[in-house]
Structure 1
Amino acid sequence: MSQQSPSTRPPDGEVRPSTVRALARLHPYARLAYPRLALGLVASLIAAVVALLIPLVLQLLVDGPLSSGDRSQVWPAFGVVLALGVVEALMIGTRRRMVLTPSTRVEATMRNSLYSKLQDLPVAFHDRWQSGQLLSRSVSDLSLIRRWLAFGLLLLIVNLVTIVVGFVVLFWYSWVLGLIFVVASLPVFVVSFAFEKRYSVVARRSQDQVGDLATSVEESVHGIRVLKAFGRGKHSLREFVKQAEDLRGTEIEKAKAISKLWLWLLLVPDVAFALCLLGGIGLAADGQLTVGQLFAFFATATVLRWPVESIGFLLSMTFDTRTAVDRYFEVMDTENAVTDPARPKTIAEPRGRLEFDAVHFRYQDSPAQYDDLVNGVDLVLEPGETMALVGLTGSGKTTLLSLVSRLYDVTGGRVLVDGVDVRDLTREELRRHIGMAFEDATLFSTSVRENVMLGRPDLVDDPAEADRVMREALDIAQADFVERLPDGVDTRVGEEGLSLSGGQRQRLALARAIAARPAVLVLDDPLSALDVDTEARVEAGLRRVLASTTSLIVAHRPSTVTLADRVALLENGRVTAVGRHSDLLAANEHYRYVISSLDDDTNTREEVLA
C-alpha cells in the first residue's frame, strides 16, 4: 500500500504561524456568516449572564424569606428562578438555530473552493498527492472546521467571558474566597496552554494518518480484482491493519494527552471548592459573610465549573481545527504553474495545424543528471493529416501527447496549434480544439450519454443535435453494445466504468473524443483492448473522422500504424525519423525493430523480421 507523499507533510523545523493567525485564514469564507454567528454569540452570552443571575436570586431567597420564615416570598423567588431558567434555555436554543445554518454554508463554500482548486491544479500536482489525503481534507477536515465554527468557537468565547465575569462576581461576594478560587484555578490555565504544543503535533499526525488510511481503502477497492486474482487479500489486510494500528496508537496518544489535561480540569476545581468551603465556613462564623452570600458564592462557582472544565476539550477541538485549516490551505496555497495567460489569444477559424518546435520536457523532481524526457522534438502535422507516433516503452510518446492540451507545460520550446503557442490560449479555449482518448480509459459514474457528451456542453440546450452527435460517435467507435445495456444510453456505467469490459470502456472513451469534434485529435493507443475484428471495424470508422481531422496517434500495434499518413519514430525523447510506414520500414533499422516489438499477431512480427 502507498505511503503518504512527503509533499503533504510540513517540513521539519518549519515555523508554523500561531493558532490565532492560522484560524484567521477562515475569514474570507466565514465573513458572510458573521451576522448570524454574532447573534448566536449574543444569545450565548445572555444565557451565561442569566445563569450567573440565578445565584444572586438564591442569595436573596436565603438571606430573606428563608431566614425570616416569610413563606410568602418563596413563590415569587421561585418564579424568578424559573423565568431565568426558561430564558437561559431559549437563548441556548436561539444560539443553535443561529449558528447551524451559516456554519454549513461555510463548509459548503470551502468544499466547493477546494474542489474547484483541485480541478484547476495541473496533473503534476495529482501525480504527487494521494487521493485519500485529498478526500480526508474535503470531508473530515472541513466537517471539523464546521463544528468548530458552530460550536467550539462560540463556546470558547462565551466560556472565557463567563469565567472572567464569574470571577468578578465571586470577588464581589467575598474577595478572600474569590482570591482563593482564582489562585487555586491558575494551574488549569497553565496546563491548558502547555497542552497546545504537544497536542498540535499529535493531532497533525493523526489527521495525516487518516488520509493514508483512506488512500489504502480506495486503492484496495479499485484494485479488488487484482488482489483477488493474485490471492493477496490477506496481505492487503495485514498492511491495512498495520496502518490502522498506527492510527490507533496516535489516537491513544491523543487520548492520553487529553486525559492528563482532564485530570487537572477535574482535580483543580474540586480542590478550589474544598479550600473555599473551609475559608467560607470561617468567614460565615466570624460574621464576615452571610449564609446567603456563601450559598450564592458556591452556586456561582458551580456555574463556573462547566466553563472551566470545558476549556480542555474546547482547546483540543481548536487545535484539531487549526491542523485541519493548515491541511486545507496546503492545497489551496499550491501554486498552479499551468495557468491562463494575462492576454489570451484565440483561434477564430481552427484548421488543426499542430507543430512541436524544439520541445523539451522534464518532470519537476527529475534528478539534474537525467536527460529531458522529451528532448528537442521538432514535428509538424498539417491540417487533416494523421500521424502515428511509435517508439519503445519509455521513449516519451505519452508525455509528448500530454503537452498538446497542457496537461503538462513544456520546459523548453513551444507547442503550436494553428500557429498559436498553446500557452497563449486559455485552457478552456485550447481544450475546445483538442480531443483526447487515453489507453487507460476512465469513465465517470454517470450514464453512457453523459460520458460520451462530456466534451460538448454547447449542445446541452439542443437535445436533438446532441443525440445525433452521440449516435454518430458511438457508431464510429463501434459501441453498439450500449443498446444492449439495461437502459441503453441512459444506463449508469458505475464507478470508473468498471461494470464494463476494458474494450467497451475504450470504445466509449474514443466516442467521447470523437463527439467533441476537435480540430486536433490526440489518441494514446485507444484500441489496445480490442480484438482484431472489432479493431478493424473501429479503424474503418476512424478513417472517416481522420480524413478531416488532424490526428496524432500513439501506436502500439502495426495495424494502428496503417491508419496514419505518416509515422514519427521517437527514440530517447527525440524524433529520429519521419515518413511513410513503408519507406521507414525499408530504410530504418530501429523502426523495423520497434515495429517488430509492437503488440500484434505473430504473423506480422515474422513478416517484418523477414
Structure 2
Amino acid sequence: MSSTGDDRRTDQSAAQQPPEHAAEHAAEQPRLNTLRALARIYPFAKPAMPRIYLGMGAALAAGLVALGIPLILQSLVDGPLSTGDANQVWPAVLLVLGLGIVEAIMIALRRWFVLTPGTRIEASMRNALFAKLQDLPVNFHDKWQSGQLLSRAVSDLGLIRRWISFGFVLLIVNGVTIVIGAVILFTWNWLLGLIFIALAIPIWIYGFKFEGKYSVIARRSQDQAGDLATAVEESVHGIRVLKAFGRGKHALKNFSSQAEDLRGTEIEKAKAIAGIWLWLVLLPDIAFALCLLAGLWLASIDQLTVGQLFAFFATATVLRFPIESIGFLLAMTFDTRTATDRYFEVMDSVNTITDPEHPKTIADPKGELVFEGAHFRYQDSPERYPDILNGIDLRLEPGETMALVGLTGSGKSTLTALTTRLYDVTGGSIKVDGVDIRDLTREELRRHIAMAFEDATLFSASVKQNVLLGRDDLDLDSPEADRVLQEALDIAQAGFVAELPDGADTTVGEEGLSLSGGQRQRLALARAVAARPAILVLDDPLSALDVDTEALVEAALRRVLASTTALIVAHRPSTVMLADRVALLEDGRITAVGRHSQLLQDNEHYRYVISSLEDEELEAARQEVNL
C-alpha cells in the first residue's frame, strides 16, 4: 500500500468513533465558562448587534426615566405639598405624566429594535446547523439520535433567540440600572443606601453558586427532551410495526418512563429557581423594612426630609423589578449557555469526508470504476472491530454491468456506499476513470455516480421533485424535465404515477409511506436513472417487486445499462442475469469474478450463494401467493 493510502487510512480511522449518547459526548468536551460559551454566538449575532445596542439604549433610557420620577416626587413633597401651593402641583404632575409616556415609548422601541434581529440570528444559526448536518458524513448521523439533532435545531435555538432579544438586553440594562439606582440612593443618605445594597450582596453570592447547580440540571433536562423527541419520532415512524405486533402499550410505557424522568428533572429545575427567588423576594422586603425604620429615625432627627424619604422608597421600588429579575434572567442565561453548548457540539463536529484542496475533474467521464486494495471498518479498534472489507480488488470496464453477490452480512451494501463517499475507505483506493474519488469534489463525484438503495427513501414533495432530485440542471416546469421524468418512470415501470390524484405532481407522504414498498423502490430507481450518471450503483433496488414487474424493469434496465457502467447488488438470481460479469464477495474480499455460467461451474461457494438466493426467492414467491 502506498504511503498516501496509509496516511488516508490513519486519518479516517481516527474519525471512526463508537456510538455515544449525547450526554456522554458533552462530558468529554472542555467546558467553557458561561461568558466565553455565550460569546461563541457573536459571529452569528454581529450583523444584528447595532439594533441590539439601540434596544439596550432604549431600555436604559426607560430605566433612567423611571429613576428620574422619584426626583420630581421629592421636590413635589418637599415643595408644593408641604406649603399647600396647589398652583405648583399641576406642573409636577404633568411632568411625571410626560416621563411616564416617554418611558412607555422607550420600552416599545426596545421591543421594536430587538425582536426582528433576534429572529434573524435564530434563522442564521438554524441555516448554518442544517448546512452542517448536510455536510457531515453518514457515520456522524449513525451515532446521533435524530431527536437530539431536532431539539437542537428547534428548542435550543428558540431559547437562544429569546435570550438575545430579551434576557441579554435586560440582564445588561437591569444591571446598569441597579448600579445607577444605588448611587442615587447613596446621594440621599449613605446609611439607607448601605442597608439596601448590603442586603443585595447575598443575592449575588447565591447567584454565583446557583450557576453551577442549575447548569447541570439544565443540561440534563435538554438532553432528556432530545431523547423524548427521539422516542416520539421513532414511534410515529414505526407505528405500523407497533400496531402489527400489538406493542403500543409497550411503547407508551417506555415513553411514559422517559417523560417521567424529564418531569422529575423539570421539577428539580423549578426547585432550584424557587431557591433563588426566595432570596430575591425576601431580602428586598427585609431591606425595605430596615430602611423604613432607619428612614423614620433619620427624619425624626432632621437628617432626612420627608420628600427625600418618599423619593428613596420610590427609587427602591423602581429598583425592585431589576433586582428580582436577576433570578429568572440568570436562569434564562444558564439555559441559553447549555443550549449554546449543545448547538456547538454539532457545529464543532469534524467532517472527515471533505473536498480536496486542489480537486481534479473528469471532463468526459467514461465510467471506469476500479477498487484497489480497498479496506473499510466502522471502528478504530482492529481487535474488536476487524475490517468489513479487507482488500477489495475489482475493475468495472466502461459500460459493463457487474453483479455483486455474497451471503448476508458479507459487506455488499458497505461496498456500494464507498463509491459515493458516504463512507471513506480506511485503506486502499477507489478510482473513477483513473482518478481517486478522494481527489474529486463530492459534488462532482456524485454527478458521475448515482445510487438506488434497497430501503427507498422519498421526501415530502411531489413525485416529480423526488424523481428529478439529482437533476438540478433542469427547470422542473420545462418540457425537457417532463421528458426526462417520463423516460425514467417508464424504465422503472412506475406507470402507477399516472393513476395518482395529481399524477406526477402528487405529493407523497412523509418518507413516501403513503406508497407501497414496491412503488417507493420504483421511484427510487427512476430517480437514479434520471440522474443520467456515468456509473449506476444499485443496492438491490428490486427486492420489493413481484416477479412480473421485476422482469419488466430488468428488460427496461438493459437498454439503460447498455451505455452505463453499473454495479448491482443482487439478492435474486434473476438480477444476476442482468450482469455481464459477477463478482463474489466472501470474507471481505472478492474471491471470484466471471460470467454466471462459468462461476456456477467452477466455484463451490458461488453455487452455495446462488442456491441460497433461489431459496429466498422461492420463499418470497410462496408468501406472495399466500397473500
- The interval holding the TM-score normalised by the smaller chain is over 0.9
What's the offset of the Cα at 1:184? 1.4
| Alpha-carbon distance in structure 2 between the residues aligned to 1:462 and 1:15 | 51
Counterpart among 121, 126, 136 of residue 106 in structure 1: 121
The residue that corresponds to 1:304 in the other structure is 319
The residue that corresponds to 1:503 in the other structure is 518
Counterpart among 359, 363, 367 of residue 378 in structure 2: 363
CA contact (8 A) 2:55 2:111 kept: yes
1:288 matched to 2:278? The reply is no
What's the offset of the Cα at 1:463? 1.1
What's the offset of the Cα at 1:5? 3.6
What's the offset of the Cα at 1:366? 5.1
CA contact (8 A) 2:54 2:110 kept: yes
Counterpart among 245, 268, 279 of residue 260 in structure 2: 245
1:160 matched to 2:175? The reply is yes
Alignment of 1:97-496 (within 5 A): 97-365=112-380, 368-460=383-475, 463-496=478-511
Gaps of 5+ in 2: 1-18, 623-627
Assess, with a 3 A threshold, how the Cα gap between structure 1 residues 232 and 95 changes in structure 2: closer, same or farther. Answer: same
Assess, with a 3 A threshold, how the Cα gap between structure 1 residues 334 and 510 changes in structure 2: closer, same or farther. Answer: same
| Alpha-carbon distance in structure 2 between the residues aligned to 1:602 and 1:50 | 83
The residue that corresponds to 1:548 in the other structure is 563
What's the offset of the Cα at 1:364? 3.1
What's the offset of the Cα at 1:12? 4.2
In structure 1, the residue corresponding to 2:200 is in which secondary structure? Answer: helix
The residue that corresponds to 1:601 in the other structure is 618
In structure 2, the residue corresponding to 1:468 is in which secondary structure? Answer: helix
Alignment of 1:556-567 (within 5 A): 556-567=571-582
What's the offset of the Cα at 1:462? 7.0
Counterpart among 513, 516, 539 of residue 531 in structure 2: 516
What's the offset of the Cα at 1:369? 3.8
* Letter in structure 2 aligned against 1:425: L
CA contact (8 A) 1:8 1:330 kept: no
What's the offset of the Cα at 1:25? 0.4
* Letter in structure 1 aligned against 2:122: E
CA contact (8 A) 2:22 2:148 kept: no
In structure 1, the residue corresponding to 2:386 is in which secondary structure? Answer: coil
* Letter in structure 1 aligned against 2:302: G
| Alpha-carbon distance in structure 1 between the residues aligned to 2:550 and 2:196 | 85
1:580 matched to 2:595? The reply is yes
Assess, with a 3 A threshold, how the Cα gap between structure 1 residues 307 and 26 changes in structure 2: closer, same or farther. Answer: same
In structure 1, the residue corresponding to 2:80 is in which secondary structure? Answer: helix
Deviations 1:387-427 (A, max 9, x none): 00000111110000001000000000000000000000000
| Alpha-carbon distance in structure 1 between the residues aligned to 2:186 and 2:41 | 38
Greater displacement, 178-187 / 340-349: 178-187
| Alpha-carbon distance in structure 1 between the residues aligned to 2:23 and 2:279 | 35
In structure 1, the residue corresponding to 2:79 is in which secondary structure? Answer: helix
CA contact (8 A) 1:8 1:129 kept: no
In structure 1, the residue corresponding to 2:212 is in which secondary structure? Answer: helix
| Alpha-carbon distance in structure 2 between the residues aligned to 1:341 and 1:462 | 35
Assess, with a 3 A threshold, how the Cα gap between structure 1 residues 590 and 278 changes in structure 2: closer, same or farther. Answer: same
Deviations 1:163-219 (A, max 9, x none): 000000000011010001111111111111110000000000000011000000000
* Letter in structure 1 aligned against 2:576: V
Assess, with a 3 A threshold, how the Cα gap between structure 1 residues 604 and 496 changes in structure 2: closer, same or farther. Answer: closer
TM-score by length of 2: 0.95
What's the offset of the Cα at 1:7? 4.8
| Alpha-carbon distance in structure 2 between the residues aligned to 1:377 and 1:603 | 31
Gaps of 5+ in 1: 606-610
In structure 2, the residue corresponding to 1:435 is in which secondary structure? Answer: strand
CA contact (8 A) 2:367 2:399 kept: yes
* Letter in structure 2 aligned against 1:231: G
CA contact (8 A) 2:21 2:144 kept: no
1:88 matched to 2:117? The reply is no
Greater displacement, 179-188 / 315-324: 179-188
The residue that corresponds to 1:530 in the other structure is 545
Counterpart among 81, 84, 89 of residue 66 in structure 1: 81
Deviations 1:232-286 (A, max 9, x none): 0000000000000000000000000000100000000000001101100000000
CA contact (8 A) 1:7 1:128 kept: no
| Alpha-carbon distance in structure 2 between the residues aligned to 1:478 and 1:410 | 35
CA contact (8 A) 1:354 1:381 kept: yes
* Letter in structure 1 aligned against 2:618: D
Assess, with a 3 A threshold, how the Cα gap between structure 1 residues 477 and 366 changes in structure 2: closer, same or farther. Answer: farther
What's the offset of the Cα at 1:310? 0.3
Deviations 1:306-361 (A, max 9, x none): 00000000000000000000000000000000000000000010000000000000
What's the offset of the Cα at 1:459? 1.0
| Alpha-carbon distance in structure 2 between the residues aligned to 1:294 and 1:10 | 57
| Alpha-carbon distance in structure 1 between the residues aligned to 2:202 and 2:100 | 32
Counterpart among 45, 48, 56 of residue 41 in structure 1: 56
In structure 2, the residue corresponding to 1:346 is in which secondary structure? Answer: coil
CA contact (8 A) 2:80 2:86 kept: yes
Deviations 1:110-130 (A, max 9, x none): 000000000000000000001
| Alpha-carbon distance in structure 1 between the residues aligned to 2:29 and 2:507 | 47
In structure 2, the residue corresponding to 1:601 is in which secondary structure? Answer: helix
* Letter in structure 1 aligned against 2:159: L
The residue that corresponds to 2:6 in the other structure is none
* Letter in structure 2 aligned against 1:99: V
What's the offset of the Cα at 1:602? 6.3
What's the offset of the Cα at 1:14? 5.4
What's the offset of the Cα at 1:481? 0.2
* Letter in structure 2 aligned against 1:52: L
| Alpha-carbon distance in structure 2 between the residues aligned to 1:344 and 1:13 | 35
In structure 2, the residue corresponding to 1:136 is in which secondary structure? Answer: helix
What's the offset of the Cα at 1:6? 2.2
Assess, with a 3 A threshold, how the Cα gap between structure 1 residues 135 and 603 changes in structure 2: closer, same or farther. Answer: closer
In structure 2, the residue corresponding to 1:176 is in which secondary structure? Answer: helix
CA contact (8 A) 1:162 1:304 kept: yes
CA contact (8 A) 1:386 1:550 kept: yes
In structure 1, the residue corresponding to 2:41 is in which secondary structure? Answer: helix
What's the offset of the Cα at 1:601? 2.1
Deviations 1:507-560 (A, max 9, x none): 000000000000000000000000000000000000000111000000000110
What's the offset of the Cα at 1:484? 0.2
CA contact (8 A) 2:369 2:432 kept: yes
CA contact (8 A) 2:22 2:223 kept: no
What's the offset of the Cα at 1:600? 1.2
CA contact (8 A) 1:30 1:106 kept: yes
| Alpha-carbon distance in structure 2 between the residues aligned to 1:512 and 1:11 | 39
Assess, with a 3 A threshold, how the Cα gap between structure 1 residues 104 and 603 changes in structure 2: closer, same or farther. Answer: closer
What's the offset of the Cα at 1:39? 0.6
* Letter in structure 2 aligned against 1:463: S
Assess, with a 3 A threshold, how the Cα gap between structure 1 residues 239 and 341 changes in structure 2: closer, same or farther. Answer: same
CA RMSD of aligned residues (A): 1.4
The residue that corresponds to 2:12 in the other structure is none
Assess, with a 3 A threshold, how the Cα gap between structure 1 residues 462 and 258 changes in structure 2: closer, same or farther. Answer: closer
